[in-house]
Amino acid sequence: MGLKIMTHWTILLAVETAETAAKEGGLFDFDATLPLMALQFLLLVVVLNAVFYKPLTKAIDDRDEYIRKNQLEARERITKAEKLTKQYEQELGETRRKAQGTIAAAQADAQKIAAQKMASAQAEAQTQREQAQQEIDQQKAEAFASLEQQVDALSRQILDKLLGSLIKS
């Protein structure tokens, strides 16, 4: 409101000055209006500085400070994120190596167990084969013994028949 009144007052003085200058005959007539206009101009500069420029520059400075602060925080966050990323990548690599080691150990254990079971199965199969061979040999021997007895019995019968028929004749 004060600025509006000041502006109106300045315009009125400028109109009066122009009318007086036109009456007196020159644009650059140096009378009391020139210092008054200079004083009004300085007063306008002081008022504008207090009302407009200081708050505006303060707002701009505050905004600059806010932006600088946010940029610094963003850089710090980026640096922290990069560090965390490197740390997580190292931990991930380490975990992968451990997992691969565990997998290799488990595979080696599984191969050992499979080899042991295979060896025990082969040993058991060999034992069963040997037992089967012994049973076959035993049955073979029994069969031969039985056949020998039958052959002996048949041979005696044949001899008896032959001898019996020779004795009868």
Is 38 within a domain? Answer: yes
Residues 20 and 4: their CA atoms lie apart, in Å, by 24
Is 146 within a domain? Answer: yes
42 Cα distance to chain centroid: 66
Is 13 within a domain? Answer: no
The domain in which residue 64 lies consists of 32-168
Is 41 within a domain? Answer: yes
Is 61 within a domain? Answer: yes
Is 140 within a domain? Answer: yes
86 Cα distance to chain centroid: 11
Is 88 within a domain? Answer: yes
pLDDT digits (tens, 9 = 90+) for 4-48: 666 767 777 776 666 665 555 555 556 677 788 889 999 998 998
Q: With contact defined as beta carbons under 8 Å apart, do 3 and 52 qualify? A: no
> Tokens 């032959």 — which residue?
162
pLDDT digits (tens, 9 = 90+) for 126-162: 999 999 999 999 998 888 888 888 888 888 888 888 7
What is the pLDDT at residue 35?
Answer: 81
Is 11 within a domain? Answer: no
94 Cα distance to chain centroid: 14
Give how many domains the chain has, as a whole number. 1
91 or 155, greater pLDDT = 91
Q: Answer yes or no: is pLDDT of 84 > 90.
A: yes
Give the alpha-carbon dihedral of 111, 117, 122, 124, to 10 degrees.
170
